[in-house]
Amino acid sequence: MAGKREQNREQNRLALIGAVLDSVAEKGISETSVSEIIQRAGLSRGMIHLHFGGKDNLVQAAAHHSSEEYYDGLEALLQTAGDSPQERIEMIVRGDLSERVLNQRNVNIWYAFRGESRNRTAIAEHSDTRDGRLRGMIHNAFSRIVREAGTPDASGAARDATHGTLALLEGMWTDFLLHPDRFDRKEAARIIFRFLAAMFPAHFSLAGAIRPQQGQGAAPAAPAASDS
């Protein structure tokens, strides 16, 4: 077992990272000073230098941690999904729009880091990483759909669907950032599935319900109030 010593050490490391994320979410990056961080963490001034070698490294570690958390959550969600590509995509979309992932805190953190990513190279990388992994997951699913459907321009269609879905999700996050009060998760999901249903009518319907083996295009406009 890890000694009490190392255990405390790790605990303090995480306390610092958590303090940074809390501060960034509440006050923004520009007001996240060393004083603010150590006050939130309830630790002494020297801890930052001791554990991370400097504030910049700590902020970078916090960005990385936040990114991992986001992605791990999405992956966990994916494992509860079925094997069909439709199910996987629907799970990603709904997961990315769920309250657990898309909430005030995460959005604030995400956009704060994005805004600074121009300079801090390391922070930009964490955005890239997330982006890359997520893109891969979605693209895999669409590739399977396209292959099954025998679409003419297969690779192009899968790429466009991936690109479009990601762009729509990004746009919805921005929407949430700017209008957290009037944001409507169901509406956001509906619009994305409208896009997917238009591209793959045999696999998605407007209501967002999966239609595994049928080929109809039209669907009732009334959404079933089944999820949060």
Partner DNA sequence: TTAGAAAATGGACAATCGTCCATCAAAATC
Partner DNA sequence: GATTTTGATGGACGATTGTCCATTTTCTAA
Q: Which is nearer to its own copies, 45 or 105 (CB)?
A: 105
Q: Please state the closest distance from residue 80 (CB atom) to its own copies, in A.
A: 26
Residues 174-213 interacting with its own copies (rule: CB under 8 A): 174-175, 177-179, 187-188, 190-192, 194-195, 198-199
Residues 193, 185: contact at Cβ < 8 Å? no
The reply on whether position 36 binds DNA by CB under 7 A is: yes
* Torsion sign across C-alpha atoms 70, 75, 80, 86: positive
* Torsion sign across C-alpha atoms 8, 67, 179, 194: negative
Spell 164-198 as b/e; 16+ CB within 10 A means b. Answer: bbbebbeebbebbeeeeeebebeebbbebbbbbbe
- Tokens linked to 144: 């399977």
Q: Please state the closest distance from residue 47 (CB atom) to DNA, in A.
A: 5
The reply on whether position 119 binds its own copies by CB under 8 A is: yes
Residue from 20, 21, 24, 47 in contact with DNA (CB under 7 A): 47
Residue from 18, 26, 55, 71 in contact with DNA (CB under 7 A): 55
Binding partner at 155 among DNA, its own copies, none, C-beta below 5 to 8 Å by kind? none
